[in-house]
Structure 1
């Protein structure tokens, strides 16, 4: 999965997805008939067909950081882009690209602990800062200003015997981007009119998904994303690594379309693909905005379970990714017509 490694290690926080978009464009070019970037930054690729029009969507952006302010000592305080737990950021190596184009290396740290009672308190985002080893004057000269992106640097790893597990940053949702690229290769001869949509700014409000539907007008959509694994949680895991893709029935914000879910369930059972139905009271995906754009759109969600979501140490199982690709491929070789 060299492509997944490349996607995971690429920098693409919300609002700054251009590097990821360039990788995807290069990989997709041989397999699609047309491709363009819309006004909002979504990448849309099409394989022309005479059948049903289907939208497959995955988001390019990742949670991230940017400069909030710089204090008198040159400490660069940071602001979160999307949902990040401050405790998971301590000690991370980062790169900061300044407004003058200068690259600074640094690490995320917090104020010194003064007594044992402070050890019991988890640091908030406001207590974290980037140390680049510079004075305030040197930081100013380098061109550091509020709004500069701070990029977390993390290598992609393969874990376990046989490398069956993968770990890295931004698996949410570079796993989905990887899956869409692989599906474009496999569905080139599909009878459907296939759209592959790589959205922006999912992590801060699902914004790209909402605008992307307007230019393509599909018959229905399937959103591909990752979902928090329940491995190791008290009460038993609901979604486990290695037990197949997740088919979302309900999340914290929406219900997916029943007939799409039935298609997926039936295909999985018929082809002995393990799967995990998901009913959750928390979280959501791009499907929320896709489903209510224009006049409304039937929508399904296929997910891959991931441990430690929204951290740089996310973990996924290769077989879950492969099974999710196979499930969607079998459905869309000859896409069925929607029946509500």
Structure 2
């Protein structure tokens, strides 16, 4: 990754875009990709779709723009904001983190006094934006306003760290593959989806409209390489993980084998991923209409659904290479 690519990734991950509020990140991606596609459009759900036309099969590549966040549910007389979650937010992860609302207002997540931390739940927590009264708080934040976690992009050696790597790193890989593929025999639909974190909703409607012959999601996955981690044969730095299964799908054998064969043919390191829970946009794509052969290129990621998600630069580079080489092939199943 060169400096321009790192700058692009920094802008992607630091952008605001919780589920259902993807306008800012969508506008940024649209500006980045508009000169590399034959057609760029936004559907009624809010998905951004970039098309590279070709004579062959319709291939849908999905990476979700949205990130987890919180939503204001009430404001008390002292100006403290009660909230609920948008997507998978752990109270233990959220505690004392900073959050940012769409207008740039920053708050800190605090909690009521608890005798035992095991009792910590989101309904025992609040956001402090520095307001001294309900009126002052409501001048900045209203019920229904949504915030993302606030953190900056950092590179430490080979590791890249930020909030929203899930799944802006997938968006980055899709963008770089879109730029890299020059002449594909297939018709490529790069879809930057909305509302994945709350039920793969954007991918479901986009896939119905596109009616693809094959689907590929690009998303993060967990690792088993930290101390006493849940047993999982995926490590940071060992290459992109080719999904075998998760809780939402069993990868289609033809797609899985295409990925493996492509990685072997181009000496791209890869891993095989079996995830016992969770899912990706492919979980929706493969059930579209009469069914779509689908698979996933997964980027190993530590500390998923936290403000400090960590991926390997080498894994990202190899994921771009793998996706590009797949899309350059004449796919015939």
Q: Could you state the TM-score of these two structures normalised by the residue count of structure 2?
A: 0.94
Deviation (angstroms), 1:112:
3.5
Q: 1:137 to 1:329 in 2, by over 3 A?
A: closer
Residues 152-231 of structure 1 mapped to structure 2, 5 A cutoff: 152-160=149-157, 164-231=158-225
Q: How far apart, CA to CA, are the structure 1 residues paired with 2:58 and 2:248?
A: 25
Larger radius of gyration: 1
Q: What's 2:240 paired with?
A: 245
Residues 91-110 of structure 1 mapped to structure 2, 5 A cutoff: 91-97=96-102, 104-110=105-111
Deviation (angstroms), 1:235:
6.8
Q: 1:72 to 1:272 in 2, by over 3 A?
A: same
RMSD of the TM alignment (CA)? 1.6
Q: How far apart, CA to CA, are the structure 1 residues paired with 2:230 and 2:122?
A: 30
Residues 265-284 of structure 1 mapped to structure 2, 5 A cutoff: 265-284=260-279
Q: 1:51 to 1:84 in 2, by over 3 A?
A: same
Q: What's 2:147 paired with?
A: 150
Residue among 81, 84, 87 paired with 1:79: 84
State the 4+ residue runs in structure 1 displaced beyond 6 angstroms. none
Deviation (angstroms), 1:237:
4.7
Q: For structure 2, list consecutive stretches of 5 or more residues without a partner in the other structure.
A: 1-5
SS in 2 for 1:154: coil
CA offsets 1:216-260 (integer angstroms, 9 cap, x no match): 222111111010111213475511100010101111121111011
Q: Could you state the TM-score of these two structures normalised by the residue count of structure 1?
A: 0.92
Q: 1:137 to 1:83 in 2, by over 3 A?
A: closer
Q: Is the 8 A contact 1:246 1:305 kept in 2?
A: yes
Q: 1:120 to 1:199 in 2, by over 3 A?
A: closer
SS in 2 for 1:249: strand
Q: How far apart, CA to CA, are the structure 2 residues paired with 1:234 and 1:21?
A: 35
Alignment: residue pair count: 327
Q: What's 1:124 paired with?
A: 121
Q: Is the 8 A contact 2:213 2:292 kept in 1?
A: yes
